[in-house]
Amino acid sequence: MKIHVIGAGLAGCEAAWQIANAGMPVILYEMKPVRYSPAHSKPEFAELVCSNSLKADRLDSAAGLLKEEMRRMGSLLVPCADRCRVPAGGALAVDRTLFSKMVTEKVKEHPLIEVCHEEICALPTDGITIVATGPLTADRFADEIARLCGGCLSFFDAAAPIVTAESLDPEYCFAASRYDKGGDDAYWNCPMNREEYEAFYEALITAERAPVHEFDVRNPKVYEGCMPIEVLAQRGKDTMRFGPLKPVGLTDPKTGHRPWAVVQLRRENQAGTLFNLVGFQTNLKFGEQKRVFQMIPGLHRAEFVRYGVMHRNTFLDSPKLLDADFGMRGRADLFFAGQITGVEGYMESAASGILAGRNVVRRVQGEPSLILPPETMMGALSRHVAESTSKDFQPMGANFGVLPSLQPHIRDKKERYAALAQRSLCLLTEILNEESW
């Protein structure tokens, strides 16, 4: 029986890797470089668009727990990320160019993975298929999915600009991690006094935005997790100061005091030659980005190697369509994986690919699906996809709020999170010890 995986993003690569490592041949379809989405620009697989951060790496964080679960499930991407990491305080951030190249090489070198560079516009009719085309599914295939599923939801996502390190002015900005965690080479900080901040705010909310009508948009909405900075600013003058520009945990060495606001820049590559503006996803026109963002102290000479972009994200109304194994109800030959299912985030998408891949193998072998318990982060996210009762289904990222509470309750948050992580990993270890691969 043929196994097809459509899309060589994070979820598709993980799914193909799981299937191939189970000893089954798999065909992985990727339309790049034949065709690119509005936000992608590199031919390699697993291209990171919005940010180079894979979020927190410590076990007592939801994101860190998810990555550890993935490691134990035989992830392809997490070990690659570990090898391509760049300093980012307590987060796992990567040199995204090295990361994509490494993933691509490993996938193409696997003897059981056949890679086909072509755009798929209709579902294969032979074998089992995993659709992992992501939030930027090409128009014609998105129409095919909409027809099959009775409609898709859409929202806009935005990416932050990247600037060169040498164009930052050290007379105005300083290197430091918040609360001195993770070393001083992870972030550059651009402090603002009140007058500078308010001038920047006024310029930002009045700047001209790029049109979005060029994309095929159905019922568009902006997802909170990737809110464009100009949209966030319009919610109130101090909204940014309590969000991505919050100054807490940072002291300006020139004044000895906490700034009124701080713009942080995180290392984009291992060489430390590129930095991205943290939280500055945007849909401003390129010229406006240069004009407004160069008002930030330390960025007045900033050289932009990539401007922020805004693009359409598409995801299914999954609770009506998918089971917790990521299989489509009533279709034994069809699975979905990645952000198109309603998980939010790089690693969350990749994790769904792991589960979809394993469950395709089980289906071929005639075995019951692997449904992880809700006490695990991967299990909780798969249940969100399949069982959410919200009338307005929205993407969900890893967070401890999706896990069942501990009994008895632990009041200290750090201790509680550590205990939740320990419970998850103990359960996962028991399950994997019973697995044959």
The CATH number of whichever domain residue 176 belongs to comes to: 2.40.30.260
Residues 208, 169 share a domain: yes
Of 282, 311, 340, the domain-final residue? 311
Going by C-alpha positions, the residue among 436, 432, 335 that lies closest to residue 69 is: 432
Ranking 74-78, 241-245, 410-414 by mean pLDDT, the lowest is 410-414
Range of the structural domain that residue 221 is part of = 162-311
Q: Given a cut of 50, is residue 217 above it in pLDDT?
A: no
334-359 mean pLDDT: 96
Q: Which of 291, 311, 331 is the last residue of a domain?
A: 311
Split at pLDDT 50, 70, 90, the class of 182 is: low
The DSSP code sequence of 29-85 is: E--TTT---SS---SSSS---S-SEEEE-STTSHHHHHHHHHHHTT-SHHHHHHHTE
Dihedral sign for Cα atoms in the order 95, 100, 105, 106:
positive
Q: Kindly state the tokens that stand for 322.
A: 């998918």
In DSSP terms, 313 is beta-bridged to 155
Encode pLDDT of 399-434 as tens digits.
Answer: 998 999 899 989 898 999 999 999 999 999 999 998
Asked if residue 11 is part of any domain, the answer here is yes
Number of domains in the chain: 2
How far apart CA 124 and CA 26 sit, in angstroms, is 13
Q: What is the b/e burial string over 290-311, where b = at least 16 CB atoms within 10 angstroms of the residue's CB?
A: bebbebbbbbeebebeebbbbb
- 157 within domain boundaries: no
Distance CA 16, CA 357 (A): 7
Interval 260-272: pLDDT, tens: 999 999 998 888 8
If asked whether residues 21 and 108 sit together in one domain, one would say yes
Quote the pLDDT of residue 181: 75
Q: What CATH number is attached to the domain comprising 22? A: 3.50.50.60
Question: How far from 152 is each of 40, 61, 163, 290, 401, CA to CA, in Å?
Answer: 21, 32, 35, 35, 27
Q: Are residues 280 and 320 in the same domain?
A: no
Instruction: Confirm if 259 and 252 have CB atoms less than 8 A apart.
Output: yes
Helix (H) / strand (E) containing 204 = helix 194-206
Do 234 and 263 belong to one domain? yes
Residue 276 shares a structural domain with residue 168: yes
User: Domain boundary residue among 278, 311, 344?
Assistant: 311
State the alpha helices, DSSP H only, in 254-296: 286-293
The length of the chain is 437
Q: Residue 300's pLDDT band (boundaries 50, 70, 90)?
A: very high
**143 with 9, same domain?**
yes
Please tell me whether residues 423 and 354 are part of one structural domain.
yes
Residue 196 belongs to some domain of the structure: yes
